């Protein structure tokens, strides 16, 4: 077991900050072109919310205690606080809302060649449109993000079980064939 210290945290130097700024501006332009409002969620969230929704992240979250003794976590995710705030501020579930963000997320991560306690994450949340066209627009935005940053060799894997069910449903498989396909996964 390797002992981690604050010295393991990486300082971001000017050149890297310039790259972050350039990437944020580039990604934000794509979001604006698609009608997204840019948001920033709170840096601190209630630990209980995340420990309940994401129990697998308990060890990865960066925790602190506020002045009232309540355990808080530094923003381990953007979607949860965004959706919670939107639910309060926009009670009409059919209202089309598009939000984009580029935020620092605080949780332990281990990449192929790096590790740390925080990273920059960007994304979009589109609410109020359950159509396949909306899903398609989000996929197009992801491609535009990457292309705008000069990344052209891209492969997108969709990991939602609903896409798989829709694909299998469109094939007109008999129940026995569908059971065989499901067993092979």
Dump pLDDT digits (tens) for 155-168. Answer: 887 776 776 777 77
Report the pLDDT value the prediction gives residue 182, as an integer from 0 to 100: 66
Give 7's pLDDT tier (boundaries 50, 70, 90).
Answer: low
Cα dihedral 82, 86, 88, 92, rounded to 10, equals: -160
Report the pLDDT value the prediction gives residue 168, as an integer from 0 to 100: 75
Dump pLDDT digits (tens) for 63-95. Answer: 999 999 999 999 999 999 998 888 899 989 889
Report the pLDDT value the prediction gives residue 178, as an integer from 0 to 100: 76
Dump pLDDT digits (tens) for 103-121. Answer: 999 988 777 766 788 888 9
Round to whole Å and give the CA distance between 170 and 173.
8
Write out the two tokens for 156.
């997108």
- Cite the beta strand spans of the chain per DSSP E: 37-38, 44-46, 63-65, 71-74, 97-110, 115-127
Report the pLDDT value the prediction gives residue 4, as an integer from 0 to 100: 54
Give 183's pLDDT tier (boundaries 50, 70, 90).
Answer: low
Q: What is the mean pLDDT of the chain?
A: 85
- What would the DSSP string read from start to end of 21-60? HHHHHHHHHHHHHTTPEE----SEEEHHHHHHH-GGGTTT
Is the whole-model pTM more than 0.85?
A: no
69: left (phi over 0), alpha (psi -120 to 50) or beta: left
56: Cβ contacts below 8 Å, ≥ 6 apart: none
Give 126's pLDDT tier (boundaries 50, 70, 90).
Answer: very high
Nearest to 93 by CA among 132, 124, 128: 128
Dump pLDDT digits (tens) for 50-67. Answer: 888 888 888 889 999 999
- Per cent of the chain over pLDDT 70 is 89
Dump pLDDT digits (tens) for 8-34. Answer: 556 777 887 788 888 899 999 999 999
**pLDDT at residue 1 is higher than 50:** no
């Amino acid at each position: 077991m390797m002992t981690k210290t604050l010295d393991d945290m990486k300082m971001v130097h000017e050149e890297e900050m310039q790259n972050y700024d350039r990437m944020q501006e580039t990604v934000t332009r794509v979001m604006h072109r698609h009608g997204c409002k840019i948001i920033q969620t709170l840096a601190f969230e209630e630990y209980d919310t995340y420990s309940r929704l994401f129990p697998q992240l308990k060890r990865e979250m960066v925790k602190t205690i506020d002045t009232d003794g309540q355990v808080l976590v530094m923003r381990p995710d953007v979607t949860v606080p965004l959706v919670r705030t939107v639910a309060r501020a926009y009670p009409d579930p059919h209202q089309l809302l598009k939000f984009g963000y580029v935020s620092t997320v605080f949780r332990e991560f281990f990449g192929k060649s790096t590790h740390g306690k925080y990273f920059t994450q960007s994304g979009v949340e589109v609410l109020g449109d359950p159509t396949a066209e909306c899903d398609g627009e989000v996929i197009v935005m992801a491609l535009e993000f990457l292309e705008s940053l000069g990344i052209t060799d891209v492969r997108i894997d969709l990991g939602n079980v609903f896409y798989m069910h829709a694909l299998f449903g469109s094939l007109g498989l008999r129940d026995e064939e569908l059971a065989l396909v499901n067993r092979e996964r």
